[in-house]
Structure 1
Amino acid sequence: MNSNQFVKKLSQMIFVSAGLLFAVTFSVCPMSCRSSVENLELLSGDFSVPKITKFCATSSNSARIDFSREVELKNTELFLSDEISSMGNVECKYEENTVLLEFKNETAIGIDYKIEGMAFDSAGNSLTFSVPFKGFNSNPAKVIITELRNAYGTRTIKETKERLHRSEFVELYVLKEGNLSGLEIISAANGDKTKFILPAIEVKKGDYVTLHMRTIVAEGLDGEGMFNELENNLKLSTHEDSCDTARDLWSECTKKPFAASDIVVLRNSNTSEILDAVVFAKSDCTEWKKGISDFASIVSESGVWQDGASVENAVCCDNVTPTATTRSLSRQNLKEAIAAYKNGQPIVNGKDCWIVAKTATPGYKNSDIPYVKK
């Protein structure tokens, strides 16, 4: 076979192969594509995971969890927050979207615990959860806010050149003895970022408790003299604004705890109930920022601030500044509040109950001398 005949024969073989390939491809592809579409099975239903919408301890040996839908819990156990070993299984009772939990062992006031388990909805979707909480406070103290300084400042002593630092603080007065566990001070502007959760401390009627809202680390202080008075030694804290006859507690926060115009709230961290509040604003503030406005609505609904927590009903705080931290916002109706609580009447609080006092008195009886700008 010469070269011309070889090329001709090879061309014929390639043409035949190409034809066969085209025929096979044409016959298989349409059938294959049609078959895939016809046999494709689309799954339908809700594949979202159930969510926890609320949790609260209801007694020393019980709690409740609200879910976004009805669920069944499995492998639910109680733990100390820093322990691996379980304190026992948790008994569950169901009421629609709510699960009532009963513990085999009682929890202790203020101790950190966690509940772990799995929640399954009717479609088989599951949620593995771990919920931290503090042991239930069966004897909560009744306290109100009586003084507040919303500014941080320094001053220099001429003789020694020593620089004194004054931090923001909130003063509480105890109307009924009990434990402070579960209470928290929170700023509407900053939320959880700078909130102060009070420790489990027993207090007596008539006590003052000063919450210093930041630990000062400027100029190498590193918290010098800023000690939490958790026991009976009320002289332990020695930093500026500490009081030897009242309890001083220091927040671990090192940042600005309040905004210039803000709402500071005392609330039950377990139930989110608003217990008291102070609403203050600069004179040039015409409306709350979004985060604060949300809190303002909640405070207004609670009724703890007379006539609602609007900017118009805020205490003017123009004269409490970083260069004037000897002043404070001072509540003036403590006697009336004590009498109202004793008689089971609502405690009045609002713009007219407060002044800018010339002298801050954390831990002591409030000054009734207002600051008057000259």
Structure 2
Amino acid sequence: MSEKIKKYIKMLIASLGTVIIVIVCMYHSSCHITPEGIVLLTDSYSCPKIGEYKVEGGEITVFFTKPVVCEECFVVEASDDKEISSIENFLQSEEKIKVSAEYDEKMNSIRYRLASKTNIGKKYELYSVVRDVKGSSLSFALPFLGENDHLAGVVISEINEAYSKKDDMCEYIELYVYSGGNLFGLELISASDGKKFELPAVEVNKGEYIVVHLRKNEDNKNQISELDSNLNLSRARGSVNGARDIWIKNTDSCLSGSADIILLNNKAKNKIIDCLMYCKKEYADSNDNWKTEALIQTARQCVDLKLWSGEGKPSDAVFSTERKSISNISRKNISSINSENLPLNNSKCWTGTTRSKMSPGRANRW
């Protein structure tokens, strides 16, 4: 421990009388754990305040508005059916993960190191009490999710943008796994309306096809997400035996029938890893550029990241020359995709087809 930190802690101990009074008040404070972010357990205006935080590499780094010393810290696994409503409940949690605290040079941030690994996608909460040199204290609960250090390598391999309530067919995006791992942290985004669909924490194997159904009817008990090794659980229309079916909790329309850009995004790193641009033939014929700023910006970003070749205009997108609309689009170069080689992605790698040639959960017919 540096001399600067030792000196700081001595100054903190000298103010212990003030700290004791604060502790008595604190233990009658209340908190409410929510998924939105940090929940403060004290509200004194003189307390240190949290600027921001990040979770990475088994560590949680919290930045404060003034120098602080950590008095107490540990992590507990959050329970879906039991709300932590007070500090007492937090402290009485039976299973705690030990945490060590390290400081930066100015002591304006604390790096909390977890003694044991968290489970991918599980909900956790960091509890900590920090104090400044005057004895003002801050206790807080910080919710976070177990990190994915074994991300699967996947690409978009097929989509269906058509929906039929009559025969219970819904929009889907098929993914191909070229490198095994876990899906947690990946999300699918429709640029036309900004809707995001997060993938669950599930282990997948190389060579798998995953059908992500983008609507779920809560009354249909056969729409079952297959999150383990049994790939024959889902019996609903559109399900594929032997392929992994994932049903997204969504009842709204998604995937534009006229023009859209689908993104596969690594949410943890805010990094787009694959994309698909498509539109109707008549849309491309009558528009030099996309009609919305969201589509224009997304197309530019995909081209800049070299995820799609060309200028990123509608004329560079996938469309059918035989039909006015596209209900299904398939990737043609799946066999050449592997962890060492992600081939160039452009409209020539895809084809718009009819529903009769849909192949969800199976190798594409191209």
User: Do both proteins adopt the same fold according to a TM-score greater than 0.5, normalized to the shorter chain?
Assistant: yes
Residue 87 (structure 1) aligns with: 97
Q: 1:117 to 1:295 in 2, by over 3 A?
A: farther
Q: Contact between 1:149 and 1:320, CA under 8 Å: does it hold in 2? A: no
Q: Distance in 2 between matches of 1:98 and 1:347?
A: 43
**153, 173, 194: which one aligns with 1:142:** 153
The residue that corresponds to 2:250 in the other structure is: 253
Equivalent residue number for residue 211 of structure 1: 212
CA contact (8 A) 2:261 2:298 kept: yes
Unaligned runs of 5+ in 1: 1-47, 155-162, 369-374
CA contact (8 A) 1:147 1:170 kept: yes
Cα separation, 2, equivalents of 1:288 and 1:297: 14
Aligned position for 1:336: 336
Q: Deviations over 1:173-205 (max 9, x none)?
A: 1111122222221222343xx422222222111
- The answer on 1:133 being equivalent to 2:147 is no
TM-score, length of structure 2 as denominator length: 0.68
User: Residue deviations 1:232-268, cap 9 Å, x none?
Assistant: 2222111121110201010001112323422211122
Partner of 2:317: 314
1:108-257 to structure 2, matched below 5 A, reads: 108-115=119-126, 131-154=142-165, 163-191=166-194, 194-216=195-217, 222-257=219-254
In structure 2, runs of 5+ residues without a counterpart are 1-47, 85-89
Question: 1:150, 1:258 within 8 Å by CA — same for their partners in 2?
Answer: yes
Q: Which amino acid aligns with 1:91?
A: A
Q: Distance in 2 between matches of 1:186 and 1:209?
A: 16
Residues 204 and 287 from structure 1, CA distance in 2 versus in 1: closer, same or farther, beyond 3 angstroms? same
Aligned partners of 2:187 and 2:196 also within 8 Å: yes
Aligned residues: 296
Structure 1 residue aligned with 2:54: 55
Deviation, 1:352, is 1.6
Tell me the C-alpha RMSD between the 2 structures.
3.6
Decide which structure has the larger Cα Rg and report it: 1
**Cα distance in 2 for residues equivalent to 1:49 and 1:329:** 50
Q: Which amino acid aligns with 2:173?
A: V
- Which shifted more, 202-211 or 99-108? 99-108
- Deviation of 1:297 (Å): 3.9
Q: Give 3-state SS (helix, strand or coil) of 2:295's partner.
A: helix
Matches within 5 A, 1:253-272: 253-260=250-257, 261-272=259-270
Local SS of the residue matching 1:361: coil
Distance in 1 separating the partners of 2:291 and 2:128: 41
Separation (CA, whole Å) in 1 of partners of 2:360 and 2:112? 42
